[in-house]
Amino acid sequence: MARFGASLRYAGTRMDGDPKTAPAPRSDELRVGRLDSWKEIAAFLRRGIRTVQRWEREEGLPVHRLAHEKRGSIYARCEELEAWWESRRLTLTLKSSEPATEHALHRVTRTSGMTTWPALSSDARLIAYVSDAGQDGTTPQIWIQQIGGTTLRLTNEEKSYSHLSFSSDDTRIIFSVSDSSGSNLYEVPTLGGEPRLLQRGASHGAMSPDGQWLASIANDGAGIRIAARGGAGFRTAAPELLDVACAAGGPDSRSVVVHARPSPGIEAEWWIVRIDGGPPTRTNVVRLFHEAGLFTLPTAVSWVGDSLVVSAAGAQGIHLYRQRMAPTTFQPEGAPQRLTEGLDGASLPTAAAGRLAFVNNRTDSHLWSVALDPARGVALGPLRRMTRGPGISGSMSLTSDSRTLAYFSVRAGSLKH
């Protein structure tokens, strides 16, 4: 089962200009100082201008933009470029020295922005997700991408999108839209078109593999809505379940996996709900994970073969875990098996055709600035990001003339100011 990461971070593919084999930056000529154009930066790194611009956009190359100047006014510091290059080289060297694993891991998205809510088509050749495409200050939109191919934006409105899934024939993408009044369920053609309202007051849409029904969660979180093809009208399955937080396809086309509690005050658990009626089946997965020192996240779940795949937090961070389930009783068999490694967080699993996609998160912090009205103290204009690349920045201090900013930054394993 190959794993695809709808993520912000590099996860194993070879990057253009591999630092393990490529010439080093021209540190013999420009060890310190400032480079004031893309041409100078490209010459320093011995690459083309388009390559270094892509590195800045997708891989965190530390390039600064001058305040109150036109968009093309940039500069970079040689010592920061060298530190970035060395960090990139060490990262690839460490990854290449790790023993080969059974499952190859590939990175799907390559922007430096927010990416979340992935969904795979039934043949695992298409992936849909919500992303701001690395554009600071913009509303995240729904995108679709062929694995290894180009992207297509499907939405354009200033709305909050989440909980994506494909229809059974992969011709539509079902998603939730949230505002102050709650959530509503929509669909949009996979290759682009106008979104269409499916259900009001519902979210977490999941269609059966045969396309005969659509499951969703009401805004009050009680029970599972089951609608016929097209989404018009519905009935409620397992109305005794409360605070339903997640719904996904179950082990067959007649069931749904949900995260819910049977009554107030009782811990939530993963349940198997039959859409044709009957009492839901408690899986006891949450209890098993607790015994292993793990806490499952109720945001997403996938049924893969004979197993549940969930995201769980523990002493080693947030990772994806596979839990085998008995085929008739739907009870856990054996201990949870961790699927992801490293320090980055893994969440929101989605599976199809033996492939698993998930969001790979890494904790970074950046410095931002915004213009202020000196008389009223209110913000003027949009936020502007001042730092880029992986790492942590903070502890800012301005000089009295507000022209110089001092701060600490942990980049490439070093402390600097």
Q: Are residues 240 and 331 in the same domain?
A: yes
On the question of pLDDT at 217 being above 60, the answer is yes
* Mean of per-residue pLDDT scores for the chain: 79
Is the model more confident about 23 or about 243? 243
Contact between 211 and 166 (Cβ < 8 Å): no
Cβ atoms of 292 and 335 closer than 8 Å: yes
What pTM did the predictor assign?
Answer: 0.66
Overall number of domains in the chain: 2
Whether 91 and 128 map to the same domain: the answer is no
- pLDDT attached to residue 389: 60
State the Cα–Cα distance between residues 227 and 212, nearest whole angstrom.
9
How large a percentage of the chain has pLDDT more than 70?
A: 76
Residue 242 DSSP code: E
Shortest CA distance to 127 belongs to which of 165, 176, 175?
165
Q: Closest by alpha carbon to 252, among 219, 284, 274, 224?
A: 274
Q: What is the pLDDT confidence band of residue 395, given thresholds at 50, 70 and 90?
A: low
Tokens of 319: 């990772």
Q: Is 411 among the domain residues? A: no
Q: Give the pLDDT band of residue 14 (cuts 50, 70, 90).
A: very low
Across the range 47-69, mean pLDDT stands at: 75
Instruction: Determine, yes or no, domain membership for 182.
Output: yes
On whether residue 71 sits in a domain, the answer given is: yes
* Phi/psi of residue 260, nearest 5 degrees: -160, 175
Quick one: pLDDT at residue 378? 78
Q: Are residues 82 and 229 in the same domain?
A: no
Do 152 and 277 share a domain, yes or no? yes
Burial string for 130-167 (b: 16+ CB within 10 Å, else e) reads bbbbbeeeeebbbbbbebeeebeebbeeebebbbbbbb
304 and 352 both lie in a single domain: yes
Q: Within 10 Å of residue 389's Cβ, how many Cβ atoms?
A: 22
Sequence-separated (6 or more) residues with CB below 8 Å from residue 75:
34, 35, 36, 63, 64, 66
Q: Can you give the residue range of the structural domain that contains 312? A: 105-361
The answer to the question of residue 141 being in a domain is yes
Residues 160 and 123 in one domain: yes
376 within domain boundaries: no
User: What does each C-alpha distance from 417 to 96, 195, 405 come to in angstroms?
Assistant: 32, 48, 9
Q: Which two tokens stand for residue 300?
A: 């997403």
Least confident of 55-59, 61-65, 388-392: 388-392
Q: 343, 361, 379: which is the final residue of a domain? A: 361
3 in a structural domain: no
> Do 338 and 230 share a structural domain?
yes
Q: Kindly give the pairing relationship between strand 355-361 and strand 3-5.
A: parallel
Q: What is the pLDDT of residues 284-331, one digit of tens each?
A: 999 999 999 999 999 999 998 889 999 999 888 899 999 999 988 999
CA-CA-CA-CA torsion for 287, 290, 292, 295, nearest 10 degrees?
Answer: 120
Judge contact between 153 and 114, C-beta under 8 A. no
Query: Does 189 share its domain with 301?
Result: yes
pLDDT at 332 (0 to 100): 95
Q: What is the mean pLDDT of residues 238-248?
A: 92
How is 9-30 classified by DSSP, letter by letter? S--SPPPSS-TTTSPPP-TTT-
Q: Are residues 274 and 188 in the same domain?
A: yes
Q: Would residue 401 count as lying in a domain?
A: no
Determine which of 134-143, 271-280, 351-360, 371-380 has the lowest per-residue pLDDT on average: 371-380
Mean pLDDT of 67-74: 58
- pLDDT in the model for residue 315: 85
Mean pLDDT (whole number) for 25-35: 57
Q: Is 290 helix (H, G, I), strand (E, B) or coil?
A: helix
Strands (DSSP E) contained in 190-340 are 196-199, 202-207, 213-218, 224-228, 235-237, 242-249, 255-261, 269-274, 281-282, 295-304, 307-314, 317-324, 337-338
For residues 67 and 169, membership in a common domain is answered with no
